[in-house]
Amino acid sequence: MGQNALKSDPWGNVHMAGLIQKVARFGLMLPVLAVVVACTSEAPISEGSSKVYRHVIDGAPRTLDPAQTNNVYARLLIPAVFETLYRYQYLARPYELTPSLALGLPEVSADGLTYEIRIRDDARFADSEFFENGQGRLLTASDVAWSLARLFDPATGSSVSWLLRDRIVGLESGRTYRPDELNVPGLEVIDSTTLRIHLNEPFPALVHTLARPQLSIVPHEVVDGLGPEFGLRPVGSGPFRLVEFNETGAVLVPNERFDRGVVDLAAEGYDPALHEAFGLAAIDGRPYPFLDRLEVQFISEASARWNSFRSRDGADIVMLPPELASSTISSRDPLTLQSEIAAQYHALAEPESGFIYYGMNLDHPQLGHHPDPTQETRNRELRCALGQSLDWERRNQQFYHGLGQRFAGVIPPFLPSWDDSVLSLPSGPELARERWEQAGWHAGNLPRLIYGHQAGVQPGQHFELFRANLIEAGYPSDRIEQRVYPTFADLLRGIHGSEVDVFLLGWTTAYPDAHYNLQLFYGPNASPGSNTARYSNPEFDAGFEQARRTIDDAERQARYRDLNQRLVDDCVIMGSIVRTRIHLWKRHLRMLPDREILGGFFLPFVDIEASAQP
Amino acid sequence: MGRYLLRRALGAIPLLVGVTLLSFIITQGLGTDPVWELAGRNPTSAEINELQAQLGRDRSWLMQYVDYLSGLPRLELGHSLMTGESVRSLLIRSVPVTLALMVPGLVIGIVLAMVLGYLAARWKGRGLDRLISSISTVGMSLSLVIVVMLCQMVFSVWLAWFPARGWSTETLYQWLLHVTVPTIIVIMINLGHNVRFFRGLWVEGLNLPAVQSARAFGLPEVSIFRRRLLPWAIGPIMTRLVFAIPILLFSGSLVIESHFGIPGVGRVFYNAILSGDQPVVLAVVALASVLVVVALTIVDASVRWFDPRVRLS
C-alpha cells in the first residue's frame, strides 16, 4: 500500500507533507480558539450561583485514611469527611472540647480508669456501594470500638497508634481486630450507643486524644471493600462527601446523610467583640454545612499559592508566605497590613500550635549523656553555651515575619501550663564563649558538629545562620559540617541513625495539653520514636509518668511546669520559637480559618455571602 | 515490516530489563526509605521492623526485583506505597492528562519553530535572521520556573483571562481554558532550541540541488517548501517530534503541573521519587522505556516508509 502511494505521487512524500500541514493548521487554530475562549469567558471556573469555597494548603496529604494520617494537610480534610467522638469548639480560644459523635462529655470513674461514652443514635455514614442497598447506615458504638482497635492491626499500617499505645486494656499491636469479634477488654460495647473504655492507668488527656482526626470513626465494610484504596475514596459520617482526590487537590460536596441541626454560635464560643467583623453572626441558627462545593488545592510553591489567591477564581484564602511579608505588612507592632491588602481581605494573625527548636543527638559523647559525671556536666555546659550563641531575633526577622514568639523549653504560651517565669538563657557570642571556656572547652577540643537538614533554600539558610552564630562565638568553622538530605523522611532516618548531631525540627501540638510536647523527651520514646534527642533521664521519666496520670488538672499542670524547667536546666534543646501565621481570605466569606488544633473542623461552618460573591 | 517490528519488540526487552534494574538498584540503595515516611513521628523499633517486612524490604534486593519482573508481563505493577492506589490506575489517569497538557504546546511549538527557522534560513544573514536568532537565544536563556510564574501572573492574575490553577477536559471549552497558558509556556521554553535546530536544517535544505533547480525554474516558494524541502526533512522532523513526547511527558511537565495544579504523570513521578515510592518509580521508568522504544520504532519505520533511499539500502 505504501509502495502504491509512493508510485502515484510524483514527489515521493507528498502525503506526509499533507499530514504535517493538517497538524500545523490544527496547531495554529488552537491559540485562536484559546483567545476566543478567553474573551468570552466571564467566570471561567465558577459554579454559577452555588456556594463554592476554595481552600489552599501548602502540601498534599498522601492518604485520607485517618489511621495513616501524619501530617497537617490530612488533618484539614479528614474532619470534613469523618467525625470523631469529640472536637473543639469552632471559635473558643483557648480551645475548648465539645461533643461531636458523643452525647456530652464522658462519665469518668473516680479512679480515672473507666470512661463511659454515649453516642448519638442519628449519625449515619455517607452512601457507599459497600453498604446494603448502597445507603449509608447508622454509626454505632461497635464502629467506634473497631475504629480505635484497627490502629493496632498490622494490616492497617497505622502511623498514629502511638496516640493510644499502652492506654487501653488489651489493646496491643500485632493482632488482627475483626469488627465482629474484637476481644479487647478495654473496649466494652454496652449497646449500640454506649461504649465503655477501660484504661491501664489514668489518662486525663484521653478526651483530647479522642478529638484527634486520626481517631475518626470509619465503616468497616468500606475499609474492607476498598482495601489499600480506602485512603483515596474514604467514606465517613462527616459533613462532606469526597468526590475527587489526587495529588493536586480534593473536591467535596455536602453529605446528604449529615444532619446536626443548626449552628449554636454561643456553644461554639462566639464573642461579638472578636468575631462580629467576620460576619459570623449570620450563620447562627442555620443548618450546616453551608457550602455546595468545597475545593481544597494542594500548592507547595508559595508564588503559585499567592497567584491562585490573587486571581479572580482562584483560592479564597492563603497563609501569607514569609517571602511576601515585606510587600503585605506595613507594621509589625502592632501588626498592620498594607492598606490595599487590608481593604480587600479579612486577615487573622494567630500563633501556631507548635514550635520550632534545634534538637541535639544526646548519644554524642561530647554533647550528650556520659557515664563520667564530670564529662556529663561539661557536655551539658557546652549544650547550654551553644544555645546561648544563637541569635533568635535574627531568625525571627529572617524566617518568621518578625512575628515569632520566643519562649523557653517545650511549653509554649498557648498551653495552660505555660509558665512565664521560665526564662530562656541570655544569648550572645561572648556569653556563649565564656560558658564553654569555663567548662574547659576551647578551640582545640570543641567537638565536630554535623548539622543535618532537608534540601531546600530555607533549610540551607537556617544552617548558614547557625554556623555564622557559632563562628561569631569562636567555634572553629572547620568543625561545623553540613549534611543535606533530599527529603524530610531521609532527614528523620539520618537523625534516628545518629548520622547528625544538630537538627532543626518543628513539632505540632495536637491538643492543648503539655503531655503531647513533653513526651518528646520521655525515655521509652527514644529513637526511632519521637524522642529524637535520645534524652534519657530516669527522674524526668518518673515525673512524666506521674504527671500524665494525674487527674487533678491544676496539679497536673504544675507537674508539667516542673518537667519543662528540668528540660530548660538540662539544655536538652536549643529553642524555642512559636511562629505567627497570617491568614488572608476574601471578604465575601463568613468564617474564621484555623490550621492548628481545630484544623479542618472549621470547614462545616464556612459560609459565603452570595450577594458579595465576586 | 512485521518482521522488523518483531525484531524491534524483542530488542526492547534487554533495554527494559536494564533500565528497570538500574532504577531498582538506585531507588533501593540511594533513594528515600519509604519506611520513615510511613512510620509517623513516634514508632517503636518493632513497628519499623514490621513495616520493613510489609514492604518486603527485609528480603534481598534481587528477590524483590525478580518479584517485580515477574509481574511486569501481566502488567501487575502493584500499589503505591504512599497512597495505596493501584499503580496501573494511577498511570491510566495521569498519563492522558500530561499528554493533553503537553502535546498542543509541542505541536504548535514545532510548527512555529519550523516557520521561524525557515524564514531565518531563507533570509540568512539579513535583519530578519538576526531578529529570529536573537529571539531564539533569549528563548534558550529563559528559566522554566520564571516563565511559569510570569505567565501565571500575567494571564491569570493581571488579565484574569485564564484560571490560575486546575484542570478539566469535560468540554473543549474547559480544556482550552486550562491548557492555553501551559501551552504558551511550553512553546516559549522550547522555541529557542527548536528554531535553532530548524534554521540549521533549512539552511542545509535550501542548498540542495533540487531546491536550487526548482527556484531557477521559478517555482513558487510555498510549492518549493511543500514539495522539495518538507519531504526531504521528514526524518529529522519526525525524530524531533516523536522523541520529545517521552521527555516532555516525564520531565518537562513537572514544573507546569506543580504550579498549575494539574494531576499529570510528571508530578506523580516526582512525588514518587521524593517519597521512595518504588512501585510507582519503576512503573514510570518502565513506561518511559517502552515509549522510547516505540518512538524509535515509529521514527525508523516512517523514515523507511517515506524515504526510498533508506528502504533500498
What pLDDT does A254 receive?
A: 97
Nearest Cα to Cα of residue B186 among B267, B99, B91, B298: B99
- Probe site for chain A from B27, B35, B36, B169 (most A CB atoms < 10 A): B36
> In degrees to the nearest 10, what's the CA dihedral of A242, A243, A245, A248?
-110
Partner-chain residue, chosen from A2, A37, A161, that has the shortest CB–CB distance to B177? A37
Please judge whether A248 and B34 are an interchain contact, meaning their C-beta atoms are less than 8 angstroms apart: no
Phi, psi for residue A187 in degrees, rounded to 5 = -120, 90
Please judge whether A30 and B104 are an interchain contact, meaning their C-beta atoms are less than 8 angstroms apart: yes
Name chain A contacts of B167, Cβ cutoff 8 Å: 248
Q: Work out the burial of residue B290: count CB atoms within 10 Å of its CB; fewer than 13 is exposed, 13-18 middle, 19 or more buried.
A: middle
What pLDDT does A18 receive?
A: 52
Give A20-25 contacts, CB < 8 A, sequence gap 24+: A20/B230, A20/B237, A21/B226, A23/B107, A23/B111, A24/B107, A24/B111, A24/B114
Partner A, chain B 99-138, Cβ-Cβ below 8 Å: 104, 107-108, 111, 114
pLDDT at position B174 over 80: yes
Q: Are B175 and B262 in contact (CB under 8 A)?
A: no
Partner B, chain A 308-337, Cβ-Cβ below 8 Å: 308, 310-315
Rounded mean pLDDT, B246-250: 74
User: Residue A585 is inside which H or E element, if any?
Assistant: strand A580-586
pLDDT at position B107 over 60: yes
Nearest chain B Cα to A46, which residue? B163
A493 in contact with B, Cβ within 8 Å:
yes
What pLDDT does B33 receive?
A: 83
Please judge whether B43 and A159 are an interchain contact, meaning their C-beta atoms are less than 8 angstroms apart: yes
Residue-wise pLDDT for B175-206, tens only, equals 999 999 999 999 999 899 999 999 999 999 99
Partner B, chain A 136-165, Cβ-Cβ below 8 Å: 154, 157-162, 165
Q: Are A492 and B32 in contact (CB under 8 A)?
A: no
Cβ contacts from A onto B, under 8 A: 213
Which parts of chain A sit beneath pLDDT 50? 1-17, 19-20, 23, 34-35, 37-48
- HSE of B34 in the Cβ direction (CA atoms, 13 Å)? 26
Residue A340 or residue B245, greater confidence: A340
What pLDDT does A477 receive?
A: 96
| Alpha-carbon span A107 to B187, nearest angstrom | 66
- HSE of A492 in the Cβ direction (CA atoms, 13 Å)? 23
Whether omega for the bond prior to residue A593 falls within 30 degrees of 0, making it cis, is no
Partner B, chain A 172-231, Cβ-Cβ below 8 Å: 173-174, 227-231
B149 in contact with A, Cβ within 8 Å:
yes
- Probe site for chain A from B77, B79, B83, B101 (most A CB atoms < 10 A): B83
Partner-chain residue, chosen from A301, A311, A312, that has the shortest CB–CB distance to B258? A301
Nearest Cα to Cα of residue A564 among A583, A547, A579, A587: A547
pLDDT at position B64 over 60: yes
What pLDDT does A39 receive?
A: 47
> In degrees to the nearest 10, what's the CA dihedral of A312, A317, A319, A322?
20
Rounded mean pLDDT, B77-103: 91
Q: Work out the burial of residue B131: count CB atoms within 10 Å of its CB; fewer than 13 is exposed, 13-18 middle, 19 or more buried.
A: middle
Nearest chain A Cα to B152, which residue? A307
CB atoms within 10 A of CB A394: 12
What pLDDT does A8 receive?
A: 34
A17 in contact with B, Cβ within 8 Å:
yes
Residue-wise pLDDT for A83-112, tens only, equals 999 999 999 999 999 999 999 999 999 999
The SS3 assignment for B240 reads helix
* Residue at grid coordinates 548520622: A499
Partner-chain residue, chosen from A27, A230, A311, that has the shortest CB–CB distance to B107? A27
Partner B, chain A 519-558, Cβ-Cβ below 8 Å: 519, 525, 528-530
Please judge whether B275 and A229 are an interchain contact, meaning their C-beta atoms are less than 8 angstroms apart: no
Nearest chain B Cα to A5, which residue? B306
Residue-wise pLDDT for A391-421, tens only, equals 999 999 888 888 899 999 999 999 999 998 8
User: What would the DSSP string read from start to end of A24-35?
Assistant: HHHHHHHHHHHH
CB atoms within 10 A of CB A78: 28
In terms of average pLDDT, the best of A192-196, B123-127, B219-223 is: A192-196
Distance from CA of A42 to the nearest CA of B (A): 8
Residue A482 pairs with which residues in a beta bridge?
A451
* Length of chain A, in residues: 614
